[in-house]
């Protein structure tokens, strides 16, 4: 894409502030530790109108429990490095999934089930605050289900399922209303990467776990919006009320 890999000061400040806001909103995220201004000039077309200007560059230092992503396993499976993939996966489980026993023959299945559940939870949390990630590819989806990339993100001012914060996303693949579906797509890629390490029974169970992703997401989404609206207990009209209010917001 002829990119230079640099960030300008304005976007770096925005990235710093947003990740801290997400943290205090209770959404799993990487944290911004520092922001360093660079002496190098960076040329950017800020408003994409052909008016290129010189801006000051900057670097944000980010911290996270882990930077392993779905893509970390996907690339090893794609290149056939199954021994290395198995070693890496065991390391990730041992370091970050203490509830999974390393001597459990179903540990990869348990790992996948946890990632599916926590990914559904993370995207539901994004939706509860109107956060659009912007670039939801497998290399930006954490295996620990935390928000690890703050590139072209955005918050909706009013409810609009077609909201896209990424000006280069001409096909609206990562529009906010599609985030849950993209999450399912990425998890299917994770399952595809894990399949060489699973036996036939485990593959079948993993497919069933993936099929349950939509229900897990929906349940968590409803829980979050019921809390926001102060709805107590269970009422068959709750889901209708949430959908109605979102529709009203869209029309406003």
Residue 5 gets the label, from left (phi > 0), alpha (psi -120 to 50) or beta, of: left
Q: What is the pTM of this model?
A: 0.93
Residue 67, C-beta contacts closer than 8 angstroms, at least 6 positions apart: 142, 148
In DSSP terms, 61 is beta-bridged to: 34
Establish whether 83 is a catalytic residue.
no
Active-site position among 41, 45, 139, 169: 139
Q: Along the 252 residues of the chain, how does pLDDT read in single tens digits?
A: 467 888 999 999 999 999 999 999 999 999 999 999 998 889 998 887 889 999 999 999 999 999 999 999 999 999 999 999 999 999 999 999 999 999 999 999 999 999 999 999 999 999 999 999 999 999 999 999 999 999 889 999 888 999 999 888 888 999 999 999 999 999 999 999 999 999 999 999 999 999 999 999 999 999 999 999 998 888 888 988 998 888 877 665
Task: List the beta bridge partners of residue 41.
Answer: 56
């Amino acid at each position: 894409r002829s990119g230079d890999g640099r960030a300008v000061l304005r976007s770096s400040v925005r990235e710093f502030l947003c990740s801290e806001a997400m943290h205090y909103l209770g959404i799993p995220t990487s944290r911004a530790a520092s922001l360093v201004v660079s002496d190098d000039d960076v040329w950017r077309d800020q408003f994409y109108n052909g008016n290129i200007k010189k801006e000051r560059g900057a670097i944000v230092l980010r911290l996270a429990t882990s930077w392993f992503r779905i893509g970390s396993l996907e690339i090893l499976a794609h290149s056939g490095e199954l021994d290395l993939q198995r070693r890496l996966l065991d390391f990730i489980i041992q370091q970050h999934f203490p509830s999974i026993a390393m001597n459990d023959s179903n540990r990869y299945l348990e790992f996948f089930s946890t990632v599916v559940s926590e990914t559904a939870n993370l995207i539901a949390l994004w939706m509860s605050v109107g956060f659009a990630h912007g670039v939801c590819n497998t290399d930006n989806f954490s295996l620990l289900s935390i928000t690890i990339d703050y590139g072209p993100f955005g918050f909706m001012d009013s409810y609009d399922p077609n909201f896209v914060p990424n000006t280069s996303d001409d096909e609206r693949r990562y529009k906010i209303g599609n985030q849950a579906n993209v999450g399912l797509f990425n998890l299917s890629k994770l399952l595809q990467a894990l399949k060489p390490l699973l036996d036939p029974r485990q593959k079948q169970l993993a497919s069933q776990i993936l099929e349950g992703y939509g229900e897990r997401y929906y349940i968590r989404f409803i829980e979050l919006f019921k809390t926001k609206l102060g709805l107590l207990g269970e009422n068959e009209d709750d889901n209708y009320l949430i959908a109605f209010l979102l529709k009203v917001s869209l029309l406003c």
